[in-house]
Amino acid sequence: MIAEGLNPALILIFGGLLAPLLGGRTRAVYLLALPLLGIIQLCGLDYGSSGILSLFDLNLITLRLDKLSFIFALIFLIASWLGVIYALHQQDTIQDVAALVYAGAAIGAVLAGDLVTLFIYWELTAISSVFLIWARRTTVSIQAGLRYLVIQIGSGVLLLAGTIIHLRATGSTAFDHLGLETPGGLLIFFAFGIKCAFPLLHNWLQDAYPKATVTGTVVLSAFTTKLAVYALARGYAGTEILIYIGATMTVFPIFFAVIENDLRKVLAYSLNNQLGFMVVGIGIGTELALNGTAAHAFCHILYKALLFMSMGAVLHRVGTVKASELGGLYKSMPLTAVFCIIGSMSISAFPLFSGFVSKSLIMAAAAEEHHTLIFLVLLFASAGVLDHSGIKIPFFSFFYHDSGKRCAEAPTNMLVAMGLTALACILLGVFPQWLLYPLLPHAMDFAPYTASHVLSQLQLLLFAALAFTTLMKLGWYPPEIPSINLDFDWVYRKWLPVVAARVWSVADGAWMHLSNVLTYQVELLIRFLSRHHGLQGKLATTWPTGSMVLWAVILLGACLIFYYF
């Protein structure tokens, strides 16, 4: 049953807020039904704008549906449903509510037709998602959640400021192409860049996601950054600087992921890498490139969720995802290992898996527009993905050496969620013309399975695998050891507090010195005034009448001289 004009986001937001009223199996069925109802509602809506509200002489378009917003809203709803299945074993009301409100806010932002509505949902995603980090209930997660919230709210502040400036300059808050030509557009660009984890703005992702709960990380991986990708595609398609920002994003996380010991943090760096491909597609801005961005976001949400699910299952059963403490888990968790391998093959863009049919669109768009250097950078980044996500994640967690840890297989609901997600990764890779390409924003005729493309991709993957094997055999691959790797967050988490403390110390010392000098000078002034105007001062004594008359005559004479001359 389709409710005309009902925003699917509201089904998840208000439905999630009502979830605590239910319990047991009724609550589980209810939570599973909400995303499915959202999908039915979304698919039943007509393209166009609706839900128009008036606020302070502004027309807010709360529901704008076209092919670009449809594909993002659809995958958000699918990811929400898979997340609910994955979390059925837990009894945590906070996470249940936060996950659904978070997903609903992301969907609402995708369907927003104006910047004010976008801002409202933008901030709601920040406020709701932080509870998925705090729900782990450790000191470390609480501190990480606070840092995450400050950064996400800061992104919203920039968005609001840019919206106000844009409104003053253009008289409109329509969320269409914005560009970098105006101050408002530039501020909004930075707001989107924070959520998209641009270089030097990215560390909130590696800081917060690995510290969230087992299920929280899976949910977090699906929405915030892909919402930013959608926003950039809507507002800044064809902005050339995004090509170079995206290319940088694909490369630098590789080096951090290779040396990282925490496997969920490896996946967080890998997420940065994959976002870079999408940002490059937005920067190129052609129909093929934008199709590639939408397709890659769709597939990435699924295979990245699958990888986080597998590592979450390991954390749930073993209590750690440190590579130095794992190994041999395929004996205890064989199904989880298989699903992890499927996710790894998908992110590595093996033929017949989802990453192959989406990433190839962006690569082809870069080649068509003669971005040769960018194409080579993306090739290098593709090879790096195989090393740190395609091989490292399953190899060190399930196979490398036997850590001696024995545990039960993942809970049934986790296996079902991983199985469905793995099936989706395979089906999208095998049947893209039927399942994926018709959903894309622009019509196209693209065949991913050409002989040259398949052979070149297999050569690249085999070369990357050979490089990994050679480094391991020679002992040159960075060892998996407990360590803390320094990233740009060292600047604002360590260096800036030290600098601020020293600056404060110097300023405090200077102020004390100035205060002492001023105090001494005031004391001298008081002594001077006391000497002349005090009870015993010269000016406080009684003057003789003759002296007073003499001084009066002198002053009167001076006035007459000044008056006449």
Q: Residues 408, 409, 413, CA angle at the centre, nearest 5°?
A: 125
86 is a domain residue: no
Residue 480 has pLDDT above 90, yes or no: no
Most confident listed range (409-423, 490-504, 519-533): 409-423
Instruction: Say what the pLDDT of residue 211 is.
Output: 95
pLDDT at 520 over 70: yes
121 occurs within a structural domain: no
Residue 365 shares a structural domain with residue 509: no
Contact 350, 284 (CB under 8 A): no
- Rounded to the nearest integer, the mean pLDDT of the chain is 91
Give strand pairing partners of 52: 61
DSSP-derived letter for residue 439 is G
pLDDT confidence of residue 418: 98
Q: 450 and 343 in one domain?
A: yes
Q: Which two tokens stand for residue 207?
A: 């800081």
The b-or-e profile of 206-230 (16+ CB within 10 A means b, else e) is: bbbbbbbbbbbbbbbbbbbbbbbbb
Cα separation, 126 vs 107, whole angstroms: 13
| 410, 505: one domain | no
- pLDDT at 540 > cutoff 70: no
pLDDT number for residue 314? 96
pLDDT at 212: 96
Lowest mean pLDDT among 163-177, 188-202, 356-370, 470-484: 470-484
Annotate 133-186 with DSSP letters as a single string: HHTT-SHHHHHHHHHHHHHHHHHHHHHHHHHHHHHHHHS--B-S---SSSHHHH
How far is the C-alpha of 208 from the C-alpha of 194, rounded, in Å?
A: 14
Two tokens at 326?
A: 């794992």
Mean pLDDT of the region 511-532 = 82
Contact by Cβ (8 Å): 460, 381: no
pLDDT(117) > 90: yes
Indicate the residue among 438, 471, 487 that finishes a domain.
487
Whether 237 has a pLDDT exceeding 70, the answer reads yes
117 inside domain? no
Give yes or no for a contact between 351 and 457, defined as CB atoms under 8 angstroms apart: yes
Residue 62 is given by DSSP the state E
Tokens of 56: 């302070």
pLDDT-derived band at 258 (thresholds 50, 70, 90) equals: confident
- List CB contacts of 493: < 8 A, sequence separation 6 or more: none
* Cβ proximity of 192 and 162 under 8 Å: no
418-438 pLDDT, tens digit each? 999 999 999 999 999 999 999
Residue 496 banded pLDDT, cuts 50, 70, 90 = confident
pLDDT band at residue 534 using 50, 70 and 90 as cut-offs? low
Amino acid letter, 504? W
Residue type at 450 in one-letter notation: T
Mean pLDDT of 162-191: 94
Beta bridge partners of 26: none
Q: Which of 241, 220, 209 is nearest to 80 (CA)?
A: 220
Q: Is residue 103 part of a domain?
A: no
Place of tokens 């794992």: 326
pLDDT attached to residue 2: 64
**Mean pLDDT computed over 136-141:** 94
Distance CA 272, CA 385 (A): 11
Q: Are residues 377 and 471 in the same domain?
A: yes
Q: Are strands 48-55 and 58-65 parallel, antiparallel or unpaired?
A: antiparallel
Look up the domain containing 515 and give its range.
493-527
Which run of H or of E encompasses 59?
Answer: strand 58-65
Query: What is residue 78's predicted lDDT score, i.e. its pLDDT?
Result: 98
Query: Any residues with CB less than 8 A from the CB of 494 and at least 6 apart, and which?
Result: none
Are residues 375 and 462 both part of a single domain?
A: yes
> What percent of the chain has pLDDT above 70?
95
389 assigned to some structural domain = yes
Q: pLDDT value at position 535? A: 60
Q: Using one digit for the tens of pLDDT, what is the confidence trace for 268-312?
A: 999 999 999 999 999 999 999 999 999 999 999 999 999 999 999
Q: 432, 461, 487: which is the final residue of a domain?
A: 487
Residue pLDDT, tens place only, 141-167: 999 999 999 999 999 999 999 999 999
Q: Which tens digit of pLDDT belongs to each residue from 195-205?
A: 999 999 989 99
Interior/surface letters 139-165, b for 16+ CB within 10 angstroms, e for the rest: eebeebbebbbebbeebbebbbbbbbb
Residue 38 covered by a domain: no
Q: How many residues does the chain have?
A: 565
Residue 472: predicted pLDDT: 80
- Only one residue has tokens 């993957």, namely 461
What's the domain count of the chain? Answer: 2
Lowest mean pLDDT among 2-11, 403-412, 417-426: 2-11
Give the integer Cα–Cα distance in Å for 563 and 541.
32
- Whether residues 475 and 331 share a domain: the answer is yes
Handedness of CA 180, 186, 189, 190 (dihedral sign): positive
The reply to whether 452 and 501 lie within a common domain is no
- pLDDT tier at 527 (50, 70, 90 boundaries)? confident
Specify whether 323 is located in the same domain as 456.
yes
Cβ atoms within 10 A of the Cβ of 493, count?
13
Lowest mean pLDDT among 278-292, 468-482, 524-538: 524-538
The more confidently predicted of residues 489 and 27 is 27
Quick one: pLDDT band at residue 549, thresholds 50, 70, 90?
Answer: confident
**Per-residue model confidence (pLDDT) at position 560:** 79
User: What's residue 390's pLDDT?
Assistant: 86
The owner of tokens 């998209």 is: 196
For residue 39, being part of any structural domain is answered with no
Read off the tokens for 1: 């049953």
Which pLDDT does position 485 carry in this prediction? Answer: 72
Among 203-207, 338-342, 505-509, where is mean pLDDT lowest? 505-509
Lowest mean pLDDT among 64-73, 445-454, 503-512, 541-550: 541-550
Tokens standing for residue 174: 């329509």
Residues 355 and 388 in one domain: yes
Whether residues 499 and 350 fall in one domain: no
Q: What global pTM score does this model have?
A: 0.89
Of 455, 472, 487, at which residue does a domain stop? 487
Tokens matching residue 237: 């398609």
356 and 441, same structural domain? yes
pLDDT of residue 559: 83
Q: Is residue 363 part of a domain?
A: yes
Tokens of 280: 């490059």
With 0-12 / 13-18 / 19 or more C-beta atoms within 10 angstroms meaning exposed / middle / buried, residue 505 is: exposed
Same domain, 306 and 379: yes
What SS3 state is found at 488? coil
**Tokens coding 173:** 């808050």
> 15-61, pLDDT tens digit by residue?
999 999 998 899 999 999 999 999 999 999 999 998 888 877 788 99
